[in-house]
Chains A and B, each alone.
Chain A
Amino acid sequence: MTVRVRVPTPLRKFTNGADEVNGQGGNVRALVEDLDRQFPGIKERICDETGKVRRFVNVYVNGDDIRFLQNLETSLKEGDAISIVPAIAGGA
Chain B
Amino acid sequence: MITSITARALAREAAVEPRIANSVLDLVGNTPVLQIGRIAQGLSPAVRIFAKLEGFNPGGSVKDRPALKMVQEGIRSGKLAAGKSIIDSTSGNTGIALALIGRVLGYPVELVMPSNVSTERKRIIAALGAKIIFSDPLEGSDGAIRLCRKVLEENADKYFKPDQYFNPMNPQVHYETTGPEIYRQTGGEITHFIAGIGTGGTIMGAGRYLKEKNPRIRVIAVEPDDALHGLEGLKHMASSIVPGIYDEKALDEKIAISTEDAYAMVYRLAQEEGLLVGQSSGAAMHATLRIARKLRSGTLVTVFPDFGDKYLTTNLWVGWRDKMSVGNLNFSI
Contact = CB atoms under 8 A, between A and B. Distances in A.
A85 B230 contact: no
Contact of B227 (A13, A67, A88, A92): A13
A63 interface: no
Interface stretch (A4-12, A21-29, A30-38): A4-12
B235 interface: yes
Given A10-B227, A55-B263, A91-B91, A19 B138 contact: yes
A82 to B, nearest CB: 12
A89 B235 CA distance: 10
B102 interface: no
Nearest to B240: A91
Interface residues of B, number: 46
B234 A89 contact: no
Contact of A83 (B138, B231, B315): B138
A10 B141 CA distance: 11
Contact of B198 (A19, A67, A91): A91
B140 A90 contact: yes
A55 B260 contact: yes
Interface in A68-90: 83-90
A13 B239 contact: yes
A90 B230 contact: no
Interface residues of A, number: 26
Interface stretch (B16-24, B113-121, B247-255, B268-276): B113-121
A89 B315 contact: no
Given A55-B260, A86-B137, A91 B230 contact: no
A4 B174 CA distance: 46
A89 B229 CA distance: 10
Interface in A40-58: 45, 48, 54-58
A89 B91 contact: yes
Given A56-B315, A91-B198, A92-B198, A86 B116 contact: yes
B245 to A, nearest CB: 11
Nearest to A92: B198
B120 to A, nearest CB: 12
Of listed B118, B164, B232, residue having the most chain A CB within 10 A: B232
A75 B141 CA distance: 31
Contacts of A54: 230, 259
Contacts of B197: 91
Contacts of A45: 226, 228
A92 B93 contact: yes
Contacts of B231: 88
B167 to A, nearest CB: 12
27 contacts: A7-B138, A8-B228, A9-B142, A10-B236, A10-B239, A45-B226, A55-B230, A55-B260, A55-B315, A56-B228, A58-B116, A67-B319, A86-B137, A87-B314, A88-B116, A88-B279, A88-B314, A88-B315, A89-B92, A89-B116, A89-B140, A90-B114, A90-B232, A91-B235, A91-B240, A92-B90, A92-B198
Given A9-B227, A56-B228, A56-B259, 16 more contacts: A8-B137, A9-B140, A10-B239, A11-B227, A13-B239, A48-B260, A55-B316, A88-B116, A88-B229, A89-B117, A89-B140, A90-B232, A91-B91, A92-B141, A92-B165, A92-B199
